[in-house]
Amino acid sequence: MSDPLLASAKAASHGLFAQSTRMRVLSENIANAESTGKTPGADPYQRKIVTFQSLMDDDAGVDLVDVDEITRDKAPFRTEYMPGHPAADDKGYVKLPNVDMLVELADMREASRSYTANTQVIKQVRELVSMTIDLLRPSS
């Protein structure tokens, strides 16, 4: 690595981007947890899942994380008996999104923790660089 400290900052900033994408998707899921379709028997909002992948950056010598893809969760939808609902099928059942609020909130907490960890890395790198450059400052 030509400069490992710069490489650290790069890895951390990719991490920040990945985690914030994850949080965006999670908040979409949470916001649409009750979004149904409009016509009878239509599908509701389908939960989105973010997958990460890691790629080695050869110049920097660090593993950068990137968002691989945002896919839809193929888990089955929940159903509820709501006969008057516009999306109710002929038996009166409405399909609801396959979003489990508790899972999304727990995931959100973990994403937030990872995000904070990455910002701490950037802060530490900044301090290390500042200390090193400070050596060149004339003393007295």
Partner 1 sequence: MSLSIAMLSPNINRLEDAGTGPAPGVSALGSAQSTVPQADFAQTLASMAADAIATIKAGETTAMAGMKGQASLQQVVQAVMQAEQTLQTVVAVRDKVVGAYLEISRMQI
Partner 2 sequence: MQPLQLFDLAFRQNEWLAQRQAVIASNIANANTPGYKAKDIESFDEVMRKTLPMSVTDAQHLSSGDGSSILAHEGNSTHAEILYSGNDVSLEDEFLKSGEVMRNYSMNTQILKAFSRMLQSVTKA
Contact residues: partner 1, CB under 8 A:
1-5, 129, 132-133, 135-136
In the list 27, 35, 54, 71, the residue contacting partner 2 (rule: CB under 8 A) is 54
Compute the least distance from the CB of residue 57 to partner 1, in Å.
14
Q: Judged by CB, which is closer to partner 1: 39, or 139?
A: 139
> How far does CA 68 lie from the centroid of its chain?
11
Spatial separation of the C-alpha atoms in residues 43 and 23, rounded to whole Å = 24
**Locus of tokens 């910002």:** 119
Q: Judged by CB, which is closer to partner 1: 4, or 83?
A: 4
- Contact status, residue 79 vs residue 45, Cβ threshold 8 Å: no
Please give the angle made by the CA atoms of 52, 58 and 63, to the nearest 5 degrees.
Answer: 30
Q: Which two structure tokens, joined as six digits, stand for 115? A: 């995000």
Q: Judged by CB, which is closer to partner 1: 1, or 106?
A: 1
Shortest CA distance to 45 belongs to which of 21, 2, 75, 66? 75
- Contact status, residue 29 vs residue 48, Cβ threshold 8 Å: yes
In the list 72, 109, 113, 126, the residue contacting partner 2 (rule: CB under 8 A) is 113
Where do contacts with partner 2 occur on this chain (CB under 8 A)? 1-5, 7-9, 11-12, 14-15, 18-19, 22, 51-54, 60-65, 110-111, 113-114, 117-118, 120-121, 124-125, 127-128, 131-132, 134-135, 139-140
